[in-house]
Amino acid sequence: MSLYFVRHQHNAETCPAKDPAAGNMLLDHLSPINARKYGVKIQGDAVLDGQHTFVLILESQEKTQVENFMQPFMQAGAVEIWPASQCETVVERAGC
């Protein structure tokens, strides 16, 4: 499995958390059971308070699986996906 860092940003007007139905739909989408349907495992997530920015650390075999999983967020704003590594891996290979 490969590791990915994902950042989603939206503006205040399109914030899904403002709409209870949209917020609940996204929480359901982020459930471990649903993520597995996309071939994705969520390692962690956080919202940067007041920044309308949501970040995730995901594991998946293919970047396309992550892209498919992030589709609902693309409706509200930008999504960026980067390949990532754990710190231990970077140290073992002697560089970022």
- From the list 85, 84, 40, the residue with the least C-alpha distance to 73 is 40
- 94 vs 96: CA distance, rounded Å: 7
> Does domain 2-92 bear CATH number 3.40.640.10?
no
- Position 33 confidence tier, pLDDT thresholds 50, 70, 90: very high
**How many Å from the N-terminal Cα to the C-terminal Cα in the chain?**
18
- 95 vs 71: CA distance, rounded Å: 32
Give the residue extent of every domain in the chain.
2-92
Percentage of the chain lying above the pLDDT 90 cut = 91
Q: Diameter of the chain by CA atoms?
A: 47
- Position 74 confidence tier, pLDDT thresholds 50, 70, 90: very high
Please compute the mean of the pLDDT values over residues 45-70 and round it to a whole number: 97
Average of per-residue pLDDT values in the chain: 95
Percentage of the chain lying above the pLDDT 70 cut = 100
- Position 14 confidence tier, pLDDT thresholds 50, 70, 90: confident
